[in-house]
Amino acid sequence: MFTSFRVNIFIYYFITVLLFLGFTYYLLAILEIQNIYALFVIVVSFISVSALLMVRLAVNPLQEYVANLQELSKETLHELNLPINTIMTNTQMIKKSLDDEKSLKRLGRIQSACEMLQERYNELEYMIKMQSEEGVKEKFFLDKLIEERVAFLCKIYPKIDFSLSLESLEIYTDRKGLGKVIDNLIDNGVKYSQNSKKIDIQHRGSSLFIKDYGKGMDEVEILHIFESYYQSNKSMLGFGIGLSMVKRFCDKNGVELHFKSQPKLGTTVELKFNKI
C-alpha cells in the first residue's frame, strides 16, 4: 500500500513542479504580464490549489487506512470478549466443585493467566478509545485504583513485598491511563531493584510516592529517562518506552511528575494530582 502511495506522491509532485514552471513561463513570456501584484496573486493561487490537492492525495489514503485499522481492532476486541468471559466464568464454577489442592493450584494458574489476558484486552480497548478521541476521564478514588493495581502486580511479582500507606482521595482523570502509569512505575522499580524485594507506595495529601530500594540513578541518567527507547541498563527486557509514556500522560492530564534518586539508594517517584 505505502509503496504505491509514495509513487503517487512523487508523480504528482513531479507533474506539479513541471506545471508550475510551465505556467510561470506562460505568464511571463507569452502573456508578458508586467503587473507584479497580479502575477503574485496568480502564482500564489496556483500554489495553494496544488498544495490543497497534494494534502488530499496524501491524507485521504492514510485516513482510510487508519479507519479500517480501527474498525478491525474494534471487531477483534469484540470477538475476544466472549472467550475471555467464558473462561473466567467456567473456572470460577469449576473451582467451587474442587477440593484437590493440586487441581486448585492448576486452576488458579489458568485464572491468573486469564486475568492477565483480560488486562491486555482492557489496554487494547483503552488505546482504541484514545485513538478515537473518546472521553476517557472519570471520577474515582485514587487509593482504590492503587490497591487494584498492586493486587494485579502481586500475581506477576509474588516475591515482592509491597508496603502500602494510603489516604482516600477522589480525583478526576483518565483512570485506565493512570493505571498504566502506576504499573510502569512499579514495574521499573522492580526491574531495577534486583538486590531488594521491597516497594513502598505511599499516598499523602494530593501526592502519590512510589519508592524502590534499587540501583538508583545519578543526575545525568535522570536527564535522559524520559527519552523514548532510553534504557540505563541495556540488558533489561523491554523497549525503554515506559517513562516517556508516563511523562506524556502526566503532561496531558496536569499531573506533576518528580523524580528523586541516588545511586545505590533507590528512586522515589512523586505524582502530584489536582484535587476535585
Residue 101, CA atoms < 13 Å, CB-side half-sphere: 0
Could you tell me if 148 and 183 are in contact, meaning their C-beta atoms sit under 8 angstroms apart? no
Q: What does CATH list as the number for 137-272?
A: 3.30.565.10
**CA-based nearest residue to 237, from 190, 185, 191:** 191
pLDDT at site 164: 95
CA–CA separation, 72 vs 78, rounded Å? 10
Distance (Å, rounded) from C-alpha 128 to C-alpha 122?
10
Q: How many CA atoms lie within 13 A of 266 on its CB side?
A: 20
- Average pLDDT of adjacent 10-residue blocks, the chain of 276 residues: 64 73 71 69 74 70 72 71 79 84 85 82 73 71 93 86 92 90 90 85 92 87 68 46 81 91 90 81
Task: Report the predicted TM-score, pTM, of the whole model to 2 decimal places.
Answer: 0.58
Cα 4 to Cα 11, 64, 73, 87, 152, distances in angstroms = 10, 15, 24, 44, 46
Task: Identify the residue whose cell numbers are 517517584.
Answer: 269
Domain extent listing, the chain: 1-135, 137-272
Residue 260: φ, ψ to 5°: -125, 125
Separation of CA 55 from chain center: 28
List, in sequence order, every residue forming a beta bridge with 163; answer none if it has no partner. 200
CA-to-CA dists, residue 44 to 25, 54, 175, angstroms: 15, 15, 49
* 187-224 burial: b if 16+ Cβ within 10 Å, else e: ebbbbbbeebeebbbbbeebebbbbbbbbbbeeebeee
Q: What pLDDT does 1 receive?
A: 53
Distances from the Cα of 194 to the Cαs of 56, 97, 173, 185, 259, in angstroms?
Answer: 53, 40, 33, 15, 20
Question: What's the pLDDT score for residue 44?
Answer: 75
Cα–Cα distance measured from residue 228 to residue 261, given in angstroms and rounded to the nearest whole number: 20
